[in-house]
Amino acid sequence: MSDTDWWFLDLALLVAATGAVALGLFSGISGAIRVLLAIPLVLLFPGYALVAALFPGDASGEQHSFDEEQTGFDKSALLSGGIKPTERFILSIAFSVALVPGIALITTVTPWGVTAEPVLFGISLLTICLALIGVLSRYQLSPAHRFEPTRVIVPPIIRQDQSTPYNRTNTRPYNIAIAFGLILLIASAGFAVANPVQPDGFTEFSVETSDLDGETETMYESTFTAGEPQEVPISITNQENGDRTYTVVALIQQVEYGDGDEVTVESEAELTNETVSVSEGETHEQPLEITPSADGEQHRLVLLLYEGDSPSDPAVDTADQSLPLPIELE
């Protein structure tokens, strides 16, 4: 079987490797193996597929002289539109570095956001599509002008070609330095993508509001009867990048309002103290039953949220979040 029968070998292997690597990453592999799998998928595969689509030809194609009298580098040009293997490798990395941020930008408008899974899926899908386009581009060329991976036996980045006036200087040390720099770039970027920095988490703590209409005075039930139990519907949304346990404390305070936002607490009593567990990304809704027993005017209900257990003397200053709700006692 001749070399021309294997002109699509590199792209076939690229598609297979992309699928295998993506499957391994999505299966939950972690640690150093995850980094090693992510490196070629992020910084080589998509760029190589794009280069194959843009440059399907072999750089060893025949040349045509445009001007027999002209000398220098502009005397002839390649008809095949190909590039050398070294250029193909370097462009693969450069195009990958350019494509991956674009894919990450697109994921910002998806419901999943910029997380590892949609980014890796986008990279894999783009790589496979570009590889198929590359196969079609090569197929349209004549066999003599196609890029065939089987012709590349020794990596040209370390191979010494025949002596010419332009390569009499030993370039091997420079080529090795470039290769080493590219390896460092691939390793650092692959590690960053395989282990993305988790955004700072947060918790949403709120009171469920009633249906609003033209007669609504407050967005929550603000009238209570002393000595009678009443429910206050609360909502806790966990966006802390992990399961959390919370403690909700309800205080009834008798306050004195001063100038501006000044509030003086005359007395307070703890009405309830409850612990709830909320899974990552979930919203917990719960009616908090309270029974105020204080008399007098100018009261407020204060809901305190603690991550974990609450202290023995809960207060607004020690709580992770607090909701002061002015109420009326009948």
- For residue range 161-191, what is the model confidence (pLDDT) as tens digits? 444 544 455 555 555 666 666 666 655 555 5
Cα-based distances in Å from 102 to 95, 108, 126, 228, 278:
11, 10, 11, 59, 35
Dihedral of CA 156/160/162/164: which sign? positive
Is residue 25 situated within a structural domain? yes
Is residue 254 situated within a structural domain? yes
Strands 76-78 and 63-65: antiparallel
Is residue 58 situated within a structural domain? yes
Does one domain contain both 26 and 167?
A: yes
The CATH number that applies at residue 249 is 2.60.40.10
Are 223 and 327 within 8 A, CB to CB? yes
Cα-based distances in Å from 177 to 6, 87, 93, 181, 191:
32, 16, 16, 6, 21
What are the structure tokens assigned to 40, written together? Answer: 């070629």
Domain end (from 129, 160, 194):
194
Category of 281 on φ-ψ map: left (φ > 0), alpha (ψ -120 to 50) or beta: left
Is residue 151 situated within a structural domain? yes
What are the structure tokens assigned to 165, written together? Answer: 């006036």
Strands 244-257 and 263-278: antiparallel
Does one domain contain both 163 and 242?
A: no
pLDDT tens digit string along 261-277?
A: 777 888 888 888 999 99
**pLDDT for residue 210:** 61
Distance CA 107, CA 125 (A): 13
Does one domain contain both 28 and 89?
A: yes
> Which positions ≥6 away from 187 have C-beta within 8 Å?
35, 39
State which amino acid sits at residue 191.
F
Does one domain contain both 24 and 128?
A: yes
What are the structure tokens assigned to 189, written together? Answer: 């970027």
**pLDDT for residue 142:** 83
Distance CA 99, CA 124 (A): 12
Distance CA 284, CA 298 (A): 31
**pLDDT for residue 125:** 93
Does one domain contain both 38 and 171?
A: yes
Does one domain contain both 54 and 132?
A: yes
**pLDDT for residue 28:** 75
Does one domain contain both 301 and 155?
A: no
What are the structure tokens assigned to 242, written together? Answer: 């992990």
Does one domain contain both 84 and 147?
A: yes
Domain interval for residue 134: 3-63+76-194
Which segments of the chain have a pLDDT < 50? 1-2, 61-68, 70-80, 153-163, 165-167, 214, 216
Does one domain contain both 181 and 206?
A: no
Category of 9 on φ-ψ map: left (φ > 0), alpha (ψ -120 to 50) or beta: alpha
Is residue 245 situated within a structural domain? yes
Task: Count CB-CB contacts under 10 A for residue 29.
Answer: 17
Distance CA 275, CA 213 (A): 34
Does one domain contain both 206 and 152?
A: no
Are 309 and 246 within 8 A, CB to CB? no
Does one domain contain both 85 and 159?
A: yes
Is residue 233 situated within a structural domain? yes
Does one domain contain both 288 and 174?
A: no
Is residue 248 situated within a structural domain? yes
- Count of structural domains within the chain: 2
Is residue 69 situated within a structural domain? no
Domain end (from 160, 194, 228):
194
